[in-house]
Amino acid sequence: MSASQDVVVSKVEVRDEAHRRRTFAVISHPDAGKSTLTEALALHARMISEAGAVHGKGNRGGVVSDWLEMERTRGISITSAVLQFSYAEKVINLLDTPGHADFSEDTYRVLAAVDSAVMLLDSAKGLEPQTLKLFDVCRYRGIPVITFINKWDQPGQEALALCDELSERIDLQPMPLTWPVGVAGQFKGVRDLRTDEMVRFRRARAASEAASEERLDAETALAEEGEEWTRAVEEAELLLESGGQFEIERFLDGSATPVLFGAALANFGVRHLLDLLVELAPEPVERVDEKEKARELDAPFSAFVFKVQTGMDRAHRDQMAFARVCSGRFERGMVVTNATTGRPFATKYAQQMFGQRRETVDIAYPGDVIGLVNASALRVGDTLYSGKPGVRFPGLPSFAPGFFAVARVRDLGRAKQFRSGVEQLASEGVVQVLRSDKRGDAAPVFAAVGPMQFEVASARMAAEFNVEIELSRLSYSAVCRLTDPKQRSLIDSSGRGEVLTRIDGTELALFNDDIAINVLRRQHPELAVEPLVGAGS
């Protein structure tokens, strides 16, 4: 075979492999059942033999990831990585989002690396605050969303009310693909709207057991379930008549969402969800670079770093960077270039991980996530490529912080280490670091999307830089971007807020609340501030 034929074969291979990828994340509020759903998805794919091996939550006997001590004591997973498994001849990449009640930028950044999302709702609670924040990011980034309404085995809200909430609160048209038979708590199964069959619910004996899915035709369902079947048919009709007919274009353009009902704990509805991901969820497409030029999937290898993490494993105290492959075929051992610095980066150790499992990756394709070890030279937003220079993907947006604290070193003798630690945390995006001449270098302001980022920052400073820091919380909770730097003193002298400069040069105006901004705006109509939406600048 000639060299040119070689190239042709591998381009086809890359396109075929990309075509098989489905890369998504689950967005939900804590306790909606994300870990349970993840385990159930993996179980269906027979990826892990025992449910519970993914997250070491509670007493499920799973593996507790060995990162920071706080992670162990709280039994939470701060790390976010990827679970990969094959299903129906596709390769599913499920990117994990941090699951704690708190919230951090990591959660948002994961959404920069997915092609679709599953929005998981608790049937008793509907849309909850964290789900809303994450949904905003999906909408902003144009990520199509499939909705899974969970815990239907226990009492909850009416199916119609839950669907109305989607259209009324977030202007997202629900397009039910299944409809529950029997109210929440007395769940009989679902009607599959596309086949008009009933899929009967049988409670699995254990979470690790897949629920059996008996299918009945409409006539049998009516004979056996009577009124409950009729009600399911009528309710679904109501929604279909008011714009809920399934249309794939509306799912892909983000204006509507397919809706499924189920119970992750009983493994009910989970296979349907997997089938839907395979059938509907978008596969990787060309990513557009900084110059708005699309990088073809079969172009030489390129990827962008969406997360950097240090010391996830005591035995390997190193920095690991997670990168999403955008084009080409990745092979372990490749020497790639970091577009930001122009320097080479050897990918001797590339791993995939989820929870504590680390597996060496030898080959990866567009849509896959690779974890690069010894990655101290890599930063969030960096582009890696092989072949000719010229590709650089846009940096990841930073997100509107809502929590602020002044950081100071306790032992002034360690001021130098303090400064390098702060630089490191800022470059990794552990917290955003804001400065002003008024506060000086010794008292930078840490800004976070969720307060737990502060704890992570303190713990990292102590563990890695041997620096104890003192954090004093500021009362600010609202933030805007100042577009006219000349107005800095107007805000600083108003007594209502303060302007600080973020490391990327953005001038942020902090206020106690939105009222303070509005009052100032009334006094100074020329005020040049604009909102930093959840999805960032």
3-class secondary-structure state, position 4: helix
Of 97, 147, 150, 173, which one interacts with ligand GDP (CB under 6 A)? 150
Least distance to ligand GDP, CB of residue 400, Å: 24
The residue range among 257-265, 328-336, 415-423, 453-461 that interacts with ligand GDP, by the rule CB under 6 A, is 257-265
Of 96, 102, 106, 153, which one interacts with ligand GDP (CB under 6 A)? 153
Of 11, 15, 44, 57, which one interacts with ligand GDP (CB under 6 A)? 57
Give the Cβ contact number of residue 471 at 10 Å: 19
381 contacts ligand GDP (rule: CB under 6 A) = no
The residue range among 151-159, 171-179, 397-405, 489-497 that interacts with ligand GDP, by the rule CB under 6 A, is 151-159
Q: What value, to the nearest 5°, has the Cα angle with vertex 131 and ends 396 and 66?
A: 70
492 contacts ligand GDP (rule: CB under 6 A) = no
31 contacts ligand GDP (rule: CB under 6 A) = yes
186: which 2 tokens? Answer: 């007395």
Which is closer to ligand GDP, CB of 35 or CB of 310?
35
> Which secondary-structure segment (H or E) carries 168?
helix 159-170
Least distance to ligand GDP, CB of residue 131, Å: 10
User: For the residues of 62-101, what is the DSSP string, one character each?
Assistant: -PPP-SSHHHHHHT------EEEEEETTEEEEEE----SS
33 contacts ligand GDP (rule: CB under 6 A) = yes
Looking up tokens 């303190």 gives 458
Collect all residues with Cβ–Cβ distance below 8 Å to 121 and sequence separation of at least 6: 28, 32, 127, 128, 131, 147, 148, 149, 150, 162
327 contacts ligand GDP (rule: CB under 6 A) = no
257 contacts ligand GDP (rule: CB under 6 A) = no
Of 23, 28, 104, 432, which one interacts with ligand GDP (CB under 6 A)? 28
Least distance to ligand GDP, CB of residue 291, Å: 40
Least distance to ligand GDP, CB of residue 204, Å: 10
Q: Please check whether residue 29 is in contact with residue 100, taking contact to mean a CB–CB distance below 8 angstroms.
A: no
Q: How many residues does the chain have?
A: 537
265 contacts ligand GDP (rule: CB under 6 A) = yes
Of 27, 95, 134, 264, which one interacts with ligand GDP (CB under 6 A)? 264
3-class secondary-structure state, position 387: coil
Straight-line distance from the first to the last Cα atom of the chain, in angstroms, rounded to the nearest whole number: 50
- DSSP-derived secondary structure letter, 489: H
Of 23, 35, 309, 352, which one interacts with ligand GDP (CB under 6 A)? 35
Which is closer to ligand GDP, CB of 22 or CB of 55?
55
Helices (H), 86-151: 105-110, 129-141
52 contacts ligand GDP (rule: CB under 6 A) = no
Of 117, 263, 375, 461, which one interacts with ligand GDP (CB under 6 A)? 263
3-class secondary-structure state, position 385: strand
Residue 365: name the closest of 446, 317, 297 by CA. 297
Rounded to the nearest angstrom, the gap between the alpha carbon of residue 248 and the centroid of all alpha carbons in its chain is: 23
The size of the interface with ligand GDP (CB under 6 A), counted in residues, is: 18
- Per CB under 6 A, contacts with ligand GDP among 61-100 are 99
Helix and strand totals (H; E) in the chain: 14, 31
Build a one-symbol-per-residue string for 99-128: x at contacts with ligand GDP by CB under 6 A, - elsewhere.
Answer: x-----------------------------
The residue range among 198-206, 263-271, 297-305, 447-455 that interacts with ligand GDP, by the rule CB under 6 A, is 263-271
Q: How far is CA 258 from CA 76, 98, 270, 284, 375, in A?
A: 30, 25, 14, 20, 39
- DSSP-derived secondary structure letter, 407: E
353 contacts ligand GDP (rule: CB under 6 A) = no
- Per CB under 6 A, contacts with ligand GDP among 266-285 are 266
Alpha carbons 270 and 41: distance in angstroms, whole number: 6
154 contacts ligand GDP (rule: CB under 6 A) = yes
| Contacting residues toward ligand GDP, per CB under 6 A | 28, 30-36, 57, 99, 150-151, 153-154, 263-266
